[in-house]
Amino acid sequence: MSDNSSGTAQSQPGETETSHNLPVFTVSEISQAVKHTVEETFQWVRIRGEISGFKRAASGHLYFTLKDADAVIDGVCWRGTAGRLSIKPEDGMEIVATGRLTTYPGRSKYQVVVDHMELAGEGALLKLLEDRRRKLEAEGLFAAERKRDIPYLPDVIGVVTSPTGAVIRDILHRLADRFPVHVLVWPVLVQGDNAAAQVAAAVRGFGAIEAGGPVPRPDVVIVARGGGSLEDLWAFNEEEVVRAIADSPIPVISAVGHETDTTLADFAADRRAPTPTAAAEMAVPVRLDLLAQVMEDGQRIASAVSRRLADHRRNLDATARALPNPARMLQEQAQRLDDWTERLGHSLGGGLERRRARLANAAAGLTRPDKIIQMEAGRLASEVRALKTAGRAAVDRARGRLTQASALLESYSYQRVLDRGFALVTDPAGAPVTSAKTLKTGDRLDLRWSLPVAPPRPRRQRPHRARTLPRNPKPTSPATTGRGGFCDIPSSHFPGRGGPRRGGGLSGRRAGDFRHIHPGRPGHRQG
């Protein structure tokens, strides 16, 4: 088959040419084209259906079918996404799956790859409600320590509700029966899309009213609504309403729905009332009961005060009778004062005489200071003489020990070793040379000795060869093997005229300047 006008199709082996010019595709090409078309058209979709044929593969992937009354569609959830799902899928569960449509060329089927899964209908709302409750509870909006007490007798009550419903009439009727107070109504929608925003604005509006302004500030706020389904009450589960109630500076009573209905506003409010009528009963006491209680308390207080006064009067009379006559008590104390004054005059003179005699006796028993000084001076002189004698004896003993130590040190001196015919070899820095292995030709050495160096022994000359001395002969065995030895040094190597002298030395010479080095022999002394 020849190419078409666009050149997109090629003829296949074994095909026969036809009269039409439609391109011929392979199955794979068609499958890929369909796949691209589906994925580009339905990149992101939400599908509601019932789970059927659910199974979890060994690889961790989830495979299932979503169906409704008229159709089915395959679904797959990869292992990485399955671990992040907020719900656990099961057969018969109605869900809303969010993902992308694609095809499976291996079976020529289309399917949805699920990235997110949530419950559908009321179950989904309950799941959302529970998640929101946990989130707000974690933030501390429902904490018990945030709850405030409701004023016992408020002057002004603010009501957030619909102005046309039966709720406001029930509240006003109950307040009039129990304790009439000033009521401020903030009309709002309690159902629909805008209900949550209006309720939140009303709660914040009551809190923004300044005390002492033209509009009285409520002492307590009632958020009320009649009963209904979960969807009808959903406005009071919105996050903005819950946060407005939790942040309100005025205590809030939540009265949403019937006794069995529970919203997030109930958790955030300071008090929860099962019905709007019960909220009005919580806000104010019964006026007649309060008056009766006040009268009863007044009578009890009056009786208690009368009894207390009578008791104090009797105690005062008894105390007065038990007290002595003040004038008589003063007279007795005045007489005692006169008696003590007279006794004080006599005892003062006698006390002075006794203390004067005691002082004279003490003075007579004291030793004269000059005698004490003479005694101490004699004792000090005796101690000085003893100290001098002991010091001289200690010095003599120390001098004897020093003489002995000097003699011993002299006997251990290296000079005694040199006197026995040995020499001390050091480098120019003054460090002793202990091994010939550390020396090399051209090193400078310093020698010290006490006995004269023996003259060099005559060497037999060979008549056929004249021997000349090298400028830097290499040291022989003692210098290279590390053994001890003596040096035959010509007299010309010593400074001055004449031969070697006792106690002489040789310094500044290189190791190669010595002609002969003989190994030392046991018992040999150089004269």
Pairwise CA distance, residues 284 & 173, whole Å: 12
Tell which CATH classification among 1.10.10.10, 2.40.50.140, 3.20.20.70, 3.30.450.20 matches the domain 42-119: 2.40.50.140
Number of CB atoms found within 10 A of residue 57's CB: 10
Helix axes 276-283, 166-178, angle to 10 degrees: 30
CA dihedral angle for residue 333, residue 337, residue 339, residue 344, rounded to 10 degrees: 150
| Domain assignments of the chain as residue spans, ordered by start | 42-119, 143-285, 288-316, 418-454+470-519
- The predicted pLDDT at position 122 comes to 66
Backbone angles phi, psi at 358, to 5 degrees: -65, -35
- The predicted pLDDT at position 37 comes to 86
Sort residue 222 into left (φ over 0), alpha (ψ -120 to 50) or beta.
beta
Pairwise CA distance, residues 509 & 116, whole Å: 100
Per-residue confidence of the chain (527 residues) as pLDDT tens digits?
334 444 444 444 444 445 567 888 888 888 888 888 888 888 888 998 889 999 999 999 999 999 988 999 999 999 989 888 877 788 877 888 999 898 888 878 888 999 988 777 666 677 778 888 999 999 999 999 999 999 988 999 999 999 988 899 999 999 998 988 999 999 999 988 789 999 999 999 999 999 888 999 999 999 999 888 787 888 899 999 999 999 999 999 999 988 788 899 999 999 999 999 999 999 998 888 888 888 899 999 999 999 999 999 989 888 888 877 777 778 778 888 888 888 887 777 778 888 888 888 887 777 777 888 888 888 899 999 999 999 899 999 999 999 998 888 877 777 777 777 788 888 888 888 888 888 888 888 888 877 555 555 666 655 555 444 455 444 444 333 333 333 444 433 444 333 444 444 444 444 444 433 333 333 333 33
- The predicted pLDDT at position 422 comes to 80
**What is the sign of the dihedral through the CA atoms of 121, 126, 129 and 131?**
negative
Helix (H, G, I), strand (E, B) or coil at 392: helix
- The predicted pLDDT at position 515 comes to 35
Kindly report the CATH class assigned to 143-285.
alpha beta
Please give the full DSSP string across 394-407, using - where no structure is assigned.
HHHHHHHHHHHHHH
- The predicted pLDDT at position 202 comes to 95
Alpha helices in 412-471 (DSSP H): 414-419
